[in-house]
Amino acid sequence: MKHFSIIAFHIYALRMEDNPWSEMSWGIDQEVPLRGSPFKNRCSHKGTSLISFHMLNLVERRSMMGDLILKSGDKIVFIGDSITDCGRRKEFPPLGNGYVFIAHNLTTVQYPERDILWVNKGISGDTVEGLVRRWDEDVINEKPNWVSIYIGINDVARNKNSNRDLEDLLRNFEEPYRQILNRTKREIKAGIIMFDVFYVASEDVAKRGFDVSRYNKIIHSLAKEYGAILVETDAAFQDAVKKRPNSQWTTNDGVHPSPLGHTLIALNFLKSIGW
């Protein structure tokens, strides 16, 4: 890997259209080329490795930051869809090449004395009902101290054109979500971190018009009820797009993060746990 200066990192991250990315498999949609590039992009790419490496330059004095909730000896399991998966089962084992990988690297550098085990159980295309089916194998049997859940955008996408009543669809989202939260609290007593879901309409070339607000309302309510740490990605992306409208935060679909988007998710996750 080439060692770029921090200036080169900023150019690299903010001018992603000049860079070819490797291909990955996605959950809900087709291959989408990055804006202005002949190369197809899906999730994880070599650029993310560079971003995570050079984000280490942002690590300064620990006294300026909070105390990380992850302690030495802790295990944290990340479970979700393609945004979490990011090639962890293919090109980029074991953590993928997205926000989990970036957060792991930054945490390791900031807290090198803490021996923390990071486990990625994301599966592209998954839904909350899919998590229910694999909760035993991928969470309960892992016996983690912390469980990070990032799920919902595939539920939003698949339900958009459904003929079923929206209230019924929302109940079918909340009930299985509540089921995995109950099992986590009851069977392994792990701490829980929950992500809401984002959608950047201005970057969706397919103009699908997803509405994540009702799903996020459920996620926020469940996080409060179960005492979970909430990572508000939707607000973070909307704020980022407003402040940097010419940057590309997703891969032209409004759903899957670009390298810049994964970095945004990683930093908001770390802020939420005291990094």
Q: Can you list the domains of the chain with their CATH numbers?
A: 6-272 (3.40.50.1110)
State both tokens at 193.
């971190």
Name beta bridge partners: 250. 257
Name beta bridge partners: 120. 78
Amino acid at 144: P
82 is catalytic: yes
Strands 146-150 and 32-33, bridge-based pairing: unpaired
Q: Enumerate long-range contacts of 32-37, CB under 8 Å, 24 or more apart.
A: 32/205, 32/251, 32/252, 32/253, 32/256, 33/252, 34/248, 34/251, 34/252, 34/258, 35/248, 35/252
Calpha distance 255→212 (Å, rounded) = 11
Question: 191 to each of 25, 216, 223, how far by Cα in Å?
Answer: 30, 20, 11
State both tokens at 171.
């109940």
Entry pTM? 0.80
State both tokens at 102.
């970036």
Report pLDDT for 67.
87
In eight-state DSSP terms, residue 127 is -
State both tokens at 203.
């970057």
Report pLDDT for 208.
97
State both tokens at 241.
């797009």
Report pLDDT for 33.
41
In eight-state DSSP terms, residue 86 is T
253 is catalytic: yes
Calpha distance 124→104 (Å, rounded) = 20
CA dihedral of residues 71, 75, 81, 86 (deg, nearest 10): 80
CA atoms within 13 A on the CB side of 83: 30
> pLDDT digit of tens for each residue in the chain (275 aa)?
433 333 333 333 433 333 333 333 333 433 344 444 333 344 544 444 444 444 444 444 444 445 899 999 999 999 999 999 999 999 999 999 999 999 999 999 999 999 999 999 999 999 999 999 999 999 999 999 999 999 999 999 999 989 899 999 999 999 999 999 999 999 999 999 999 999 999 999 999 999 999 999 999 999 999 999 999 999 999 999 999 999 999 999 999 999 999 999 999 999 999 98
Q: Which of 82, 124, 148, 258 is catalytic?
A: 82
